[in-house]
Amino acid sequence: MNRCRLLTPPRCLLGLAFVLCAPVAHAVLGAAEVTVQDDQARLHGMRRQALAVHALVTTHEITMSDGSSIREFVGPSGVVFAVAWSTRFKPNLQALLGQHAVSYNAAAADALRVPGIKRSVVLQRGDLVVHSAGHLTAFVGKAYLASQIPEGVRVDDLH
């Protein structure tokens, strides 16, 4: 089949519209709790304080109009120590991880060297741990700073 026929102008415009309209997550791992309000504004979502996973943890959930959600977990120090997502489109991990994106990129590059198709990936690089899985219009995952997890909080409860 001729590849040029696949890239007709209507298809290109439709693809571009999907990319431009996809919500972008800007939660910043390792940043202050005040970023939660910034995230809500950028994502045009509804923010609520969700059920806490532990007495020392404040959980903020931002839900977008398409049902996607970003959860930020804040420890007693007021720092976002973990971020979790359940979205229709792959989240912008560069924005989610903030200054830790460099470490993520290095771990992701290492993981891509292993042949095969991966639907689920766990990356660990120093203090940063990222669990990510997805297909078509369903992406889930979490990222956390292992050294920042408050005493008594289970990683499995961060979802």
- Cα separation of 80 and 88, whole Å? 23
124: β partners: 129
pLDDT at 16: 36
- Cα separation of 46 and 65, whole Å? 8
Helix (H, G, I), strand (E, B) or coil at 19: helix
86: β partners: 69, 140
In the chain, the amino acid numbered 46 is M
The answer to whether position 15 is within a domain reads: no
Mean pLDDT score, 101-130: 79
pLDDT at 108: 75
The answer to whether position 91 is within a domain reads: yes
Q: What average pLDDT is seen over the chain?
A: 76
Q: Domain span at residue 112?
A: 24-157
The answer to whether position 139 is within a domain reads: yes
Q: Identify the band that residue 44 occupies on the pLDDT scale cut at 50, 70 and 90.
A: low
If one compares 118 and 155, the residue with the highest pLDDT of the two is 155
The answer to whether position 8 is within a domain reads: no
Domains of the chain: total: 1
The answer to whether position 105 is within a domain reads: yes
Q: Look up residue 120 and give its two tokens.
A: 């689920």
The answer to whether position 59 is within a domain reads: yes
pLDDT at 101: 84
Q: What is the pLDDT of residues 49-68, one digit of tens each?
A: 665 677 889 888 888 889 99
If one compares 55 and 15, the residue with the highest pLDDT of the two is 55
The answer to whether position 5 is within a domain reads: no
Query: Strands of 128-135's sheet, edge to edge?
Result: 46-50, 58-63, 69-74, 80-87, 138-145, 128-135, 120-125
Helix (H, G, I), strand (E, B) or coil at 27: coil
CA dihedral 39, 41, 45, 50 (to 10 degrees): 50
Q: What is the pLDDT of residues 146-156, one digit of tens each?
A: 999 999 999 99
pLDDT at 24: 43
The answer to whether position 70 is within a domain reads: yes
